[in-house]
Amino acid sequence: MKPLRTPAALVAAGLAPPGRLTALEQVAARYAVSLTPDVIDLIHSDDPSDPIARQFVPDPRELEARPEERADPIGDDAHSPVEGIVHRYPDRVLLKLMHICPVYCRFCFRRESVGPGHRRSLSRAALVRALDYIRARPQIWEVILTGGDPLVLSPRRLREVVRALACIEHVKIVRVHTRVPVVAPARITAEVVRAIKMSGKATYVVLHANHPRELSARARAACARIIDAGIPMLSQSVLLRGVNDDPDTLAALMRTLVENRIKPYYLHHGDLAPGTGHLRTTIPQGQALIRALHGRLSGLCQPTYVLDIPGGHGKSPIGPTYLERGPSAGQEARFEIEDFNGVSHPYPPARQDHS
């Protein structure tokens, strides 16, 4: 089976109703569409609210932009000193190698700049300039390969980039952000794993997964190939309405990741990308979900709930707080701290009489 890249192909496969064809063609004229065979296998086509379909099958509501939405919701452009580089934090940069993905998520914050119609990848000259930028700045400790999806590149190109980064003394960490182990797990070959592993330095792979069903047997095997080669894996997920915005689903996702030796890292609040309002939750809903995980799941299963501040101001944690300042006792600050059962306790506790 080949990837499905047009609304007509989605209708023929039973993944979209014929009555929506014209509307979906209008969506596809603006935003890229692609579903790999592995993603198609995950979709329960008899379920109109299937959480996998909601992530990948286009929806007419994507043409309903809201006033607060923006083409560059997290401000990449404001921090791009040279093509391919985003330098938002002092000690790390994004290196955007590709502008295509094997699949196109309907909530993607880079949906205005990825897919057919955009440059496929960095040119050789642009890559040289990006690497020169990194070499010239000794404060850059970590390079994050992103895009698009960097694991769409051939093993040869990946190896060239990773070796070039490994030769930069002050670069100690390369982090690869990818959806490939879930959406095209057969691409995670031994050759790809060798290509991304740096000798004498650390490589991390961060998997984007939003629903426990995404961790299919093939996906788990692909992740195991990476981890068994000595490359640690983390995860990032996006909080999405109708996909993972209930405690049971979110808990199952985090546990499934940990069971497969993948540490949950970030749970992102949905970005203000155009036409994604129908998939965003509210921040209070997200905070309530994180509260539901606290104490119920192992600490290994707890991601950090973050908001990428619009305008390029970076990520900030926005999870619930369990600490409130109480009345001071003399010169000593006092607090009320809430446990996982919702019971508040004074801190420091009342002094005990040891007489």
The model's pLDDT over 137-163, given as tens digits with 9 standing for 90+, comes to: 999 999 999 999 999 999 999 999 999
Q: What is the pLDDT at residue 353?
A: 62
- pLDDT-derived band at 330 (thresholds 50, 70, 90) equals low
Q: Is the pLDDT of residue 318 over 90?
A: yes
Sorting pLDDT into bands at 50, 70 and 90, what band is 268? very high
**Could you give all domains of the chain from N- to C-terminal order, each with its CATH number?**
7-63 (no CATH), 77-317 (3.20.20.70), 322-355 (no CATH)
Alpha carbons within 13 A on the beta-carbon side of 297: 25
* Rounded average pLDDT over 45-64: 96
Full-model pTM: 0.94
Residue 227: predicted pLDDT: 98
User: Given pLDDT bands bounded at 50, 70 and 90, which one contains residue 257?
Assistant: very high
Alpha helices in 167-307 (DSSP H): 180-183, 190-196, 217-228, 247-259, 283-293
Instruction: Please give the structure tokens belonging to residue 233.
Output: 């894996």
196 pLDDT higher than 90: yes
- E strand or H helix at 54, and its extent? helix 51-56
Whose structure tokens read 């596809």?
28
d(CA 252, CA 65): 32
* pLDDT for 355 beyond 60: no
Question: Partners of 96 in the beta sheet?
Answer: 146
Percent of the chain at pLDDT exceeding 70: 98
**pLDDT band at residue 351 using 50, 70 and 90 as cut-offs:** confident
Query: Is residue 327 scored above 80 in pLDDT?
Result: no
Give the mean model confidence (pLDDT) for residues 189-194. Answer: 98
pLDDT digits (tens, 9 = 90+) for 67-98: 999 999 999 999 999 999 999 999 999 999 99
Helix and strand counts by DSSP (H, E) for the chain: 11, 12
Contact 135, 93 (CB under 8 A): no
Query: Euclidean distance between the first and final Cα of the chain, in Å?
Result: 79
Report the pLDDT averaged over residues 51-62: 98
Q: Pick left, alpha or beta for residue 75 (phi over 0 → left; psi -120 to 50 → alpha; otherwise beta).
A: left
Q: How far is CA 302 from CA 104, 213, 250, 288, in A?
A: 27, 19, 10, 14
Query: Is 11 a residue whose pLDDT tops 70?
Result: yes
pLDDT > 70? residue 354: no
- Burial (CB count within 10 angstroms: exposed 0-12, middle 13-18, buried 19+), residue 200: exposed
Q: And the tokens for 101?
A: 């993905």
Residue that wins the pLDDT comparison between 115 and 239? 239
**Residues belonging to the active site:** 88-89, 92, 101, 105, 108, 110, 271, 308, 315
At 56 the three-state DSSP class reads helix
Residue of higher predicted confidence among 46 and 117? 46
Can you tell me the mean pLDDT for 225-232? 98
